[in-house]
């Protein structure tokens, strides 16, 4: 619920900036700054995702509360790592407002974007090799604020806000030798997290600009859990911390 409220607030801020930018351009005798106004665009780039899946203690069943996890009788609990990398691409929109103070041009704005990707990977336990975890994500979106300094046709900025992504996680153990235990649990769905980064934008023409941007996404506690087939009464739980880093270029048409 809090993620939805934040997303709505950021979207409202973007719309407010759009309205104020349009009103400024309509006032007679005023000139519109280079970076004031709204834009739409597209982006493409490279993404690298990493997941840490912690073999967490049971919270259900007869062993709940005594520190038992799938492969441990107590802490410290093993973290199974996995990663993947690949292409990313999508669309974006936003609005900016330039404010000139004592010869410096500050730019404040908001942006939203939606990206497609195909990232997924798996890892194996170093304690019991037949215990494995995996993750998969195929899209992500953000609603961000940004602030920067403009120098002629260049804009340098930092940005951050809400991130959402479709994340699926899984943990499974399908061998009974050399250990006893059978399970296949999953979880995930559309999850909320945070995103932060920085970038630069170059105004190519009065209505066109190009961007180079780095973003870091972070999603905590995406849980794979459920009842094990063997032993009966065991409820394995793997807490996944997923983050990915994106470097992308974009082209924007300024309205």
Residue 253, CA atoms < 13 Å, CB-side half-sphere: 5
Delineate the domains of the chain, giving CATH numbers in brackets: 2-254 (2.40.160)
Least confident of 26-30, 80-84, 95-99, 101-105: 26-30
Which residues in 94-131 are b (16+ Cβ under 10 Å) and which e?
bbbbbeeeeeebebbbbbbbebebebbbbbebeebebb
What does the pLDDT average to over 181-197?
96
What digits encode the pLDDT tens for the residues 6-21?
A: 444 444 444 444 444 4
Handedness of CA 154, 160, 165, 171 (dihedral sign): positive
User: What pLDDT was estimated at residue 175?
Assistant: 74
| The predicted structure's pLDDT at residue 129 | 85
* pLDDT tens-digit readout, 215-228: 999 999 899 999 99
What is the rounded CA–CA span in Å between residue 131 and residue 64?
A: 20
Query: Residue 51, Cβ neighbours under 10 Å: how many?
Result: 29
C-beta separation of 228 from 182 below 8 A = yes
Report the pLDDT value the prediction gives residue 180, as an integer from 0 to 100.
65
- pLDDT tens for 133-179 read 999 999 999 999 999 999 989 999 999 999 999 999 999 998 766 66
Per-residue pLDDT reduced to its tens digit, 99-136: 999 999 999 999 999 999 999 999 999 988 899 999 99
Three-state DSSP class for 24? helix
Q: What is the pLDDT of residue 13?
A: 46
């Amino acid at each position: 619920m809090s993620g939805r409220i934040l997303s709505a607030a950021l979207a409202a801020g973007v719309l407010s900036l759009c309205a104020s930018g349009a009103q400024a351009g309509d006032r007679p005798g005023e000139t519109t700054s280079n970076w004031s106004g709204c834009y739409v665009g597209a982006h493409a780039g490279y993404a690298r995702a990493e997941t840490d899946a912690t073999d967490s203690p049971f919270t259900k069943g007869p062993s709940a509360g005594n520190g038992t996890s799938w492969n441990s009788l107590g802490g410290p609990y093993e973290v199974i790592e996995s990663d993947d990398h690949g292409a990313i691409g999508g669309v974006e929109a936003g609005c900016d407002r330039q404010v000139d103070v004592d010869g410096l041009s500050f730019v404040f704005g908001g942006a939203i974007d939606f990206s497609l990707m195909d990232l997924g990977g798996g890892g194996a336990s170093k304690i019991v090799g037949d215990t494995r975890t995996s993750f998969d994500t195929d899209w992500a979106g953000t609603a961000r604020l940004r602030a920067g300094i403009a120098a002629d046709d260049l804009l340098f900025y930092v940005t951050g806000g809400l991130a959402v992504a479709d994340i699926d996680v899984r943990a499974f153990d399908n061998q009974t030798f050399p250990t006893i235990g059978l399970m296949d649990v999953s979880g995930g769905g559309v999850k909320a997290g945070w995103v932060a980064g920085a970038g630069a934008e170059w105004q190519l023409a009065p209505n066109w600009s190009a961007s180079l941007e780095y973003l870091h996404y972070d999603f905590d506690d995406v849980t794979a859990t459920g009842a094990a087939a063997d032993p009966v009464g065991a409820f394995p739980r793997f807490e996944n911390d997923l983050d990915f880093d994106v470097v992308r270029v974009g082209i924007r048409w300024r309205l």
